[in-house]
Structure 1
Amino acid sequence: MSKRTYISQHTAPEVPDEQLPPDPALEGLVRRIAAAAGDKRALDVVAIDLRGASAYTDAFVIATGRTDRQAKAIFDGITEDLKHEGERLLPQRTEGEQEARWILADYGDVVVHVFVPEARAFYRLESLWGDRPRIDVSDVAPERSTDGPQGASAEGPLGA
């Protein structure tokens, strides 16, 4: 059940946020988005479960492109993947495509944020929502950053 449906049917969750049951449909959409970002070599893909904490979405997927061109390619890859597979999803709203420093795509239950490294470090969405549980997407979008927002890695430029 989406957050919007839940809010319209209930005034407050009956269980604490940490105990909300898994939502396979939400996790499936998040994983599709993360995989599409990973296919375009996105860095530091993170998925945050916002159910019970946000009235406008159930999850964020956050990714980084090394440059504004790569950020735009990541966004385009996600859009194309969701448009041509399964239920043919289109974002309800997009922002930032021209500048490609922070691109936002609102898919209702999931909001996608694609940043360049400087913008992601400045806005720090992971810190803002730091207490929220993460949805594991590491198998579909492996971490590849050496100096991304989450810190340095000694593994090399592609996390190899």
Structure 2
Amino acid sequence: MAEASGVARGVSPDELERWVREAARAASSKSGEDIAILEVGRVASITSWFVITSGRNPRQVKALVEEIEKRVAAIGGPKPLRIEGLDALEWVLMDYGDFVVHVFVDAARRFYELERLWGDVPRLNWADAAAEPRPHPRA
């Protein structure tokens, strides 16, 4: 079984956390709702982090997925190893190996309640973290 830790693959924990935070920021930029980052690596061998967000409808779910993929790659992060759920756009799972992004339509998120299932793991308060510096367009 492959190691879930990014450190095992030569990725520093800081770099991995940077990618996870950027996924959350990307979701926020497209009005993702109730964005949560859960540190699941201590209790799950499959991955280190979950990023969870939702959209109001399938069209917004698709926009969230596209923006997350684009923004994580733009800061030097990986492309997803696989993306599942694009056909129905009810629950899209973006598997990056070291982290997994779950993008739900609101009703599916309420039904599956991942935050409740993983309620005993630490959460990363990504909104309080300083945003990565971005170049300003010149006028």
The alignment's TM-score, normalised by the length of structure 2, stands at 0.81
| CA pair 90-139 structure 1, distance change in 2 beyond 3 A | same
Aligned length: 123
Between the aligned residues of both structures, percent identity stands at 40
Distance in 2 (alpha carbons) for counterparts of 1:5 and 1:25? 9
The one of 100, 111, 134 equivalent to 1:122 is 111
State the distance in 1 between where 2:28 and 2:51 align: 12
Distance 1:5 1:47 in 2: 16
Contact 1:48–1:60, Cα closer than 8 Å, also in 2: yes
CA contact (8 A) 2:6 2:98 kept: no
Q: Does 1:112 align with 2:101?
A: yes
Q: Distance in 2 between matches of 1:137 and 1:86?
A: 16
C-alpha deviation, 1:82, in angstroms: 2.0
Length-normalised TM-score, structure 1: 0.71
Structure showing greater radius of gyration is 1
Q: Is 1:48 aligned to 2:38, yes or no?
A: yes
Residues 39-85 of structure 1: CA distance to partner in whole angstroms, max 9, x if unpaired?
Answer: 111000000001211111000000010111101100011111123x1
Quote how far apart the aligned CAs of 1:87 are.
2.2
Moved more, 25-34 or 56-65: 25-34
- Give me the CA root mean square deviation: 1.9
Q: Tell me, which stretches of 5 or more residues in structure 1 are unaligned?
A: 8-22, 141-160
C-alpha contact 1:45 1:137 (8 A) present in aligned 2: no
Provide closer, same or farther for how the CA distance between residues 46 and 88 of structure 1 changes in structure 2, counting only shifts above 3 A: closer
Q: 2:85 aligns with which of 87, 96, 100?
A: 96
Aligned counterparts of 1:107 and 1:86: Cα–Cα separation in 2: 14
Cα deviation for residue 24 of structure 1 reads: 1.9
